[in-house]
Each structure stands twice: as C-alpha cells, then as structure tokens.
C-alpha cells in the first residue's frame, strides 16, 4: 500500500486512483478515513480524473502519532503528499474537518499547486463560539463529544451515525450498511488522535486562511446540517472567500457524500470540469 513519510517520520497512507487526468485530492471528516470518499473517488476516476485520498495522521491506516494531532501538522502532512506526488492544477475537496485541512493548507503553503477548492459541510470559518465569533457553538457541545470519546467512543460513533451525522433522526433514507461503515472507520482512528482532533476541528480559527484563498471555490452545505450548522459553516465561509459559489442542499444533512451521493458527484464533476 502507498505511504508518504511526513516531516517527523509519520507514515501517511493514500490512495491514488485513475489515469492521467487532472488531479483531485479528497480530504475526509472526523474520525473517518479515505474510505469515506471512495464512492466519489471511483466516480471521478471513472470520469477521467486522477482521484487521491489520504488517511489523516492518527486515522485509518496512517501512523498513530502521539504528537501532531492539530491543524498545522495536518496541513503540513498534506503538503508532503502533494509535493511527493508533484500535483499541479489540483482541485482540493474537503468534507467537514477535511474542509478545514485544505483551507489551512492554502493558508500555510499557498495556492501555487491549486486550481480550485470545494468545501463540503466544512468546519470553517470557526465552529467554536468566542468573543469575536458569537454565532458559533458553545464549548459545552465539544466538551460533550470529548466526554463521549473518553468514556465510550464506540457508542459515541454509533450514536452519531444513527442520529445527526446522516440525519437518520430526521428520517433521512440512509442504510444500516452506511451507518456501520461510519462506525468501522471511526474505530480505526487512534483514541488520542480522535480526542485531540475534536479541538482541531472546533477551535481552529480558519478566517485568516479563508482570506488567503485566491482560487475559485465551491461551498456546498446542507441547510439541515446538525453537526456544522449551515449558518456557522457554509453560509459564513461563502461570505469570507472572494471567489466563492454557494450551493445549498435543501434539507441536507452533514454526511452529504453518502446522503446526497449522486447530486454531489454531479456538482463536483461540473465544477472541476468547468
């Protein structure tokens, strides 16, 4: 299986599918891994693109490092992968925490290799409520996730999959198999990595990163997202990015790569090929 070695020696797993078409790199949400994007990767590769997806450090098949479970290192690991594969004219696509990772990559490493960005149900600009971000979510929300992670993370992941992640508590038609896949991927994440990543996705302020994005960006967000509410995520990101197009999925949940698979694939392909 292919790995790239990060600056501190961590091994970062990645998939590299398809032929010689323009490259698309897909970054996954917490606490999942590259498999969360496998349907989109297959679709894009079958439509002529080179589809790449990696397991963030601590997640899936990548090294479970004690340190580096924060956004600066995630973005630097992504830079290692992009440089290793010598990717140019690249479209970066990030779901949830992955949206923060790709925005932070541009903030720290620039957009010289990047043609376009897509933020899907993404955590930017800032999830946590602060004095200068009063519209965010209270710290108690994230402390509750941390408590669940620490006490019984297997049940936490089942509760997320059976409830708000896919909107299953709102009668969204999502199969038991998809919910089981969420649990399986989540349990492959290292316990410390999963715990520390909660702070990374909730408390990192991506507003300076969004101000540096200078490539066309597609923002896709469901207006019934119970994990990253539309008003906290997609609506505000679209306001802060200069060349952004906002697509709102009516009644859309957080897990759009599964709940709105066909529509999302079509929108991704249309944006990438435009």
Domains and CATH numbers, the chain: 3-273 (3.40.50.1820)
Question: From residue 261, how far is each of 39, 96, 178, 252, 265 by CA, in Å?
Answer: 8, 15, 12, 11, 6
Catalytic residues: 96, 225, 254
**pLDDT tens digits for 161-204?**
999 999 999 977 899 999 999 999 999 999 999 999 999 999 99
Question: What is each CA distance from 53 to 14, 128, 171, in whole angstroms?
Answer: 6, 27, 30
E-only strand ranges, 73-168 = 90-95, 114-120
- In the predicted structure, residue 210 carries a pLDDT above the cut 80: yes
Q: State residue 264's pLDDT score.
A: 98
**What is the distance between the alpha carbons of residues 160 and 165, in angstroms, rounded to a whole number?**
5
What value does the mean pLDDT of the chain take? 97
Distance CA 202, CA 215 (A): 25
Q: What is the pLDDT of residue 20?
A: 78
If one compares 80 and 20, the residue with the highest pLDDT of the two is 80
Query: What pLDDT is attached to residue 171?
Result: 75
Q: What is the pLDDT of residue 173?
A: 85
- Asked whether 88 and 215 are in contact (CB, 8 A), the reply is no
pLDDT in tens, 52-87: 999 999 999 999 999 999 999 999 999 999 999 999
Per-residue model confidence (pLDDT) at position 19: 78
Say if residues 65 and 15 touch (Cβ distance below 8 Å): no
């Amino acid at each position: 299986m292919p790995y790239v070695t990060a600056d501190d020696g961590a091994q970062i797993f990645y998939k590299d599918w398809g032929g010689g078409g323009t490259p698309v790199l897909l970054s996954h949400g917490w606490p999942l891994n590259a498999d969360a994007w496998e349907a989109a990767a297959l679709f894009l590769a079958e439509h002529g693109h080179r589809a790449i997806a990696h397991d963030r450090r601590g997640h899936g098949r990548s090294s479970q490092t004690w340190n580096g479970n924060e956004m600066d290192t995630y973005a630097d690991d992504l830079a290692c992968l992009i440089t290793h594969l010598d990717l140019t004219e690249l479209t970066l696509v990030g779901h949830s925490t992955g949206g923060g990772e790709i925005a932070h990559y541009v903030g720290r490493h620039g957009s010289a290799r990047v043609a376009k960005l897509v933020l899907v149900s993404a955590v930017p600009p800032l999830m946590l409520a602060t004095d200068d971000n009063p519209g965010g979510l209270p710290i108690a929300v994230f402390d509750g996730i941390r408590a669940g992670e620490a006490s019984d993370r297997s049940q936490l992941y089942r509760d997320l999959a059976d409830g708000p992640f896919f909107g299953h508590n709102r009668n969204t038609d999502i199969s038991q198999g998809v919910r089981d896949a969420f649990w399986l991927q989540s349990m492959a994440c290292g316990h410390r990595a999963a715990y520390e990543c909660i702070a990374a996705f909730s408390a990192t302020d991506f507003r300076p990163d969004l101000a540096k994005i200078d490539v066309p960006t597609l923002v896709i967000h469901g207006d019934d997202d119970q994990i990253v509410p539309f008003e906290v995520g997609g609506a505000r990101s679209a306001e802060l990015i200069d060349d952004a197009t906002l697509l709102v999925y009516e009644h859309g949940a957080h897990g759009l790569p599964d709940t709105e698979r066909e529509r999302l694939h079509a929108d991704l392909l249309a944006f990438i090929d435009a």
